[in-house]
Homo-oligomer: A and B are copies of this chain.
Amino acid sequence: MPAGTTHRPWRDIRLIGFADRAPLAQAWRWLDAAGSVPGHETVPAENATGRVLAETVAAPKDLPPADLAAADGYAVRAADTEDASAYNPLPFALSDAASAARAHLISAGTALPSGCDAILDFGTVSRIDADRAEVLEPVARGEGVAARGSLIRAGTVALAAGRRLRPQDLALLAALGIARVAVLRRPLVGLAIAGSKTGGVDQLGPMLRALTTRDGGVPAGPGRMTFKAAVAEAGAADVILIAGRSGTGEDDIAGLALAEAGGTRALHGIALRPGGSSGLGQLGAVPVILLPGDPLACLAAYDMLAGRLIRRIAGLSTDLPYRIGALPLSRKIVSSTGFTDIVPVAVSGDEAAPIGSVETGHLAASCRAAGFVMVPETLEGYAAGDIVRVHLYD
């Protein structure tokens, strides 16, 4: 249980409303202390893109493992070419049959023959026959050569703990002969859909599964299910999300159901629009997040609350996973102090414009939006022409 929170039972806020709502910063403090990183596992390196290294990987050997040609051409001893020029072509032997300084045809990436220390490229060598060539330019020692250990030395850090593996890291691991890596286990996110009120179709499950996966979690849970079944199945979960029935209506039973299951609450009601009926609590040591049933409010609350926690315990940044564009507003955004407002905006011609208002927002507006603007609690909005930070969906 994070410090600074209390073990109160869930207060029934149904038919009453939220007396006070916690500022988003308070919710973040709770979230940043809740839950725990779910341990390590070892996986094949070749499938590990996107996974987060649990331990630093040291190079078990030098790269290159020997002095290699870095380019196609002829390997020579640089000193033998010192006097070469177009006016003074120097004879070189291409095979042991000829008697002269030796030039070895070589391909990039292969080991330098003994005694060689430079690569001549094809343009500076004139081939006479299979056994003989003339060299037209001098080459400096080390030219065209990748020296043993010049790229990475055995025992030094190849990839540091905490790194999210990129496609090219897989090639480096293969080059180092590392077949398996220790990575953070992906947090298991138990999803319980407490029910939307607008029909039999589960709108929230597919969205929450996709969001959870995006943020490095593994969604578990059959979508629409009873809260009891979700709790039973979520026994092994690292985070539990309960979507729907978080509000103040008489059928908003999410908070009470958590209390009946033995859960505790930290806060319920957050100064966030949409998404204000969200709640934070715990079931044993497992953080539980109550998300609103309205799809747009659920999206906002997932992004602002649940995603932050899931990303952190997945070993990723707590920052929102959206590209940010700084764009001028073509129309003002009206907000009110005391709430963090998440305002969908359309972008056209390098300008952003709010779509609808926070109060009448809906998923359909979000789907028309290129992204959203966060209006902090301290502001009443933004004027037309203000440069705002737009979190871009694509």
Q: Which residues of A contact B (CB under 8 A)?
A: 15-17, 45-47, 49, 63-65, 68, 70, 72, 105-110, 121-123, 127, 146, 150-152, 158-159, 164, 166-172, 174-175, 177, 196-199, 201-211, 213-214, 247-252, 293-296, 298-299, 323, 359-360, 362-367, 393-394
Contact = CB atoms under 8 A, between A and B. Distances in A.
Contacts of A152: 364
23 contacts: A17-B121, A46-B209, A70-B359, A72-B249, A72-B252, A108-B247, A108-B293, A150-B360, A151-B364, A152-B364, A158-B364, A167-B208, A167-B210, A168-B363, A168-B366, A171-B295, A171-B298, A171-B363, A172-B295, A172-B363, A174-B201, A175-B198, A175-B295
A362 B151 contact: yes
Contacts of A252: 72, 107
Nearest to A197: B109
A366 B298 CA distance: 39
A222 to B, nearest CB: 12
Contact of A203 (B175, B202, B248): B175
A81 B203 CA distance: 35
B207 A168 contact: yes
A101 to B, nearest CB: 19
Contacts of A121: 17
Copies of this chain? 2
Among A166, A177, A247, max chain B CB count under 10 A is at A166
A367 B169 contact: yes
Among A64, A146, A213, A362, max chain B CB count under 10 A is at A362
Given A72-B252, A164-B394, A175 B201 contact: yes
Given A49-B210, A198-B68, A360-B146, A107 B171 contact: no
B167 A214 contact: yes
A84 B107 CA distance: 91
Contacts of A169: 367
Interchain residue pairs A-B with the least CB separation, the first 10: A107-B249, A109-B197, A167-B210, A46-B206, A170-B206, A72-B249, A49-B210, A171-B295, A174-B203, A171-B207
Contacts of A206: 45-47, 167, 170-171, 174
A205 B173 CA distance: 12
Contact of A367 (B168, B205, B211, B367): B168
Contacts of A159: 367
B299 A211 contact: no
Given A15-B122, A17-B123, A164-B394, A364 B177 contact: no
B172 A106 contact: no
Contacts of A208: 167
A172 to B, nearest CB: 5
A208 B175 CA distance: 14
A316 to B, nearest CB: 10
